[in-house]
Chains A and B, each alone.
Chain A
Amino acid sequence: MKLLLIAFCLVLLTTFTTNADVPKPKSPDKQAKQILHTGLEIVPDPKIYEAKLQMSQSTFNNLRAALDGGSGSSPVVGGIAFSAPRTIVAGLLMFMAVSVAGVLIARSSSFGRAQKTIGAALLVAVLLGAAAIITRGNAGPPGSWRWRNLPQSLAEGKSTVGGVDIEIVPDDQMDSRTMRLLIPLKKQNSPGEE
């Protein structure tokens, strides 16, 4: 009995010890939030003594609107409002469009014409898909392409223009800095270097 009691106490103690070793669960890190995509020009200017970040009034307004809106989605897509009545009407009309198209294809006596119709429908679908990818997925040449000659341009005193995403980053992830510009530059190996 004493042995059982000692064993019980030992297990209990171990449990406390084990629990004490469990680190406090980490609160998930807040991710940087992209709010706006715009253009940026980096201009070396020997006449100024302090770096300047200039922003057009309209860009600032867009930035403020994006912050107020709190939505990271593109306005192209944001413009497609998801209001219930309009979505229902749109859905019904799309259902009718697909149904009528299906009936027409089924009743079509000439298969070649039906093929053309299906081809046209597929083409429209592909175009819409491509447009969605371009607007939502930033398809096309990567943004780094425009920045690839930045070091050379800076050395020659020329300006470089490229795209920039404005992100709002939590304070604790900025290491006491207030603003930071990250440029997508790949390290270029010199000739003969592996």
Chain B
Amino acid sequence: MQNALELKTWPSARVAPDAKAFIAIMVLCVVSAAAFASWLPLQVSIVTLFLFAGPHNWFELRYFLMRLPIRFGRSRNFFLTAFAGLGVLTLTYLALPFLYNATLWSEEAWYAVMASWNTALLVWLALLVWLRSKQKRGANWKWTIPVALALCSLNWLGPDLFSLAIVYVHPLIALWFLDRHIRRTRPAWSCAYRRCLWLVPLVLAAMIWQLSLATPLADNNGLFWRITQHSGAEVLPQVSSHMLVSVHLFLEMLHYGVWIIALPLIGRIGSARFWEVRTVPIARHPKGFPRIVAGLLIVALVAVGVLWFGFSFDYSTTRDIYFTIAIAHVLAEAPFLLRML
């Protein structure tokens, strides 16, 4: 009787024993990432991108392959829309720098081009949400239509600010993936993980508070200038570039941590050897595509090597190329996240 009463007193306060280590590691990672990002933002940014950008893309590709069904079945339209949008949006995004160099359009015209691309992205996302909601019984996601329209509207008012918002929001999507993954594979950890997530806005608030008046970072060479520009120093010139780079770096470090450490090590995927192609369902299945999967993973591995070589040879140019091509993985996260909802 006494035990029963104890159980009823604080049912939500109990944390699974094995979750405690996970939470401790997560808190340590968040705090140390914030400390490093605030302390030496430019230097840590260079090292972090060099070490983790390529591998995190490899792990992301492998994760998406694991989530890909062998036959699309009822999801055919969803995947066709996803892949078609992914291809068109990536190609048009890659074409923008060439278009910029080839044409002499006014600044206002470029704002319109940026706004149009962002609108296409939002329309694609809204379409995917609609297709996904049709597959889910009882799902009523119609509210996303006015939200998408409102976002389109805000985008047309400040296309550069909207693009910058994507840069800052994208790393946080990894935390959403981790949330869905934990709910599927380790439901006992879910509550503790979500409580832990409150640490992120608190740390961000502390960083902004501390760094808002920090001296702007020296962007006297091409590489430092690129890093500060990527974090929005040109779009927000009155905000300390130190704060912008630190906050962006902190989010990027969380993003890399989730894809390279957390997701591969948690749950069923963690028990499998990630380098073995047969651990991917569409490669293991009798009607699967083991050669295509193996080929994709090997090509991605070669790309990681090429990226490291490029960073060693010409860091600045490789960084520019990487962040242009990386839009593909930003876009690819959307359909796979929707499939997990």
Interface residues of A (CB under 8 A from B): 36-39, 56-59, 62, 65, 74-76, 79-81, 83, 85-87, 89-91, 93-94, 96-98, 100-101, 104, 113, 117, 120, 124, 161-163
A56-B215, A80-B158, A81-B157 known; 9 other A-B pairs, CB under 8 Å? A62-B238, A76-B238, A80-B161, A86-B115, A93-B153, A94-B153, A97-B150, A97-B153, A161-B213
Q: Is the CB of A96 within 8 A of B149?
A: yes
Contact assessment for B143 and A117 in the assembled complex, using a CB-CB cutoff below 8 Å:
yes
Q: A59 to B218, alpha carbons, bound, how many Å?
A: 10
Q: Tell me which of A39, A56, A89, A98 contacts B156 (CB under 8 A).
A: A89
Q: How many residues of B contact A (CB 8 A)?
A: 38
Q: Of B157, B160, B214, B238, which is within 8 A of A36 by CB?
A: B238
Which residues of B come within 8 Å of A, CB atoms? 108, 111-112, 115, 140, 142-143, 145-147, 149-150, 152-161, 212-220, 235-241
CA distance A101 to B144 in the complex (A): 9
The chain A residue with its CB closest to the CB of B234 is A75
Of the residues A38, A57, A87, contact of B157 by C-beta under 8 Å: A87
Q: Known contacts A74-B238, A161-B213; is A86 also within 8 Å of B156 by CB? A: yes
What are 20 pairs between A and B in contact, CB < 8 Å? Answer: A56-B218, A58-B216, A59-B216, A62-B238, A65-B237, A74-B238, A75-B236, A76-B236, A79-B236, A80-B161, A81-B111, A89-B115, A89-B156, A90-B157, A93-B149, A94-B149, A96-B149, A101-B143, A117-B143, A161-B213
Q: A76-B161, A83-B111 are in contact. Are A62 and B154 (CB under 8 A)?
A: no
Interface of A is mostly: helix
Distance in angstroms from A89 CB to nearest chain B CB is: 5
Q: How far apart are B317's CB and chain A's nearest CB, in angstroms? A: 24
Tell me which residues across on chain A come within 8 A of B161, comparing CB atoms: 76, 79-80
Contacts of B156 in A (CB 8 A): 86-87, 89-90, 93
* Cα A113 to Cα B138 with chains together (Å): 13
The answer to whether B157 touches A80, judged by C-beta atoms less than 8 angstroms apart, is yes
What CA separation (Å) do A89 and B153 show in the bound complex? Answer: 7
- Tell whether A39 pairs with B240 under 8 Å between CB atoms, given A90-B154, A93-B152, A117-B143: yes
Chain A neighbourhood of B241, CB < 8 A: 58
- Determine if A104 and B235 form an interchain contact, defined as CB atoms under 8 angstroms apart: no
**When chains A and B are docked, how far (Å) is the Cα of A117 from the Cα of B240?**
36
Which chain A residue has the least Cβ–Cβ distance from B149? A97
**Hey, which chain B residues are within 8 Å of A96, CB to CB?**
146, 149
* Contact yes or no, B112 A101, CB < 8 A: no
Closest-by-CB residue of B relative to A116 is B143
Contact of B112 among A85, A93, A120, A161 (CB under 8 A): A85
| Alpha-carbon gap, A62 to B152, bound state (A) | 30
In the complex, which residues of chain A have a beta carbon less than 8 angstroms from the beta carbon of B218? Answer: 56-58
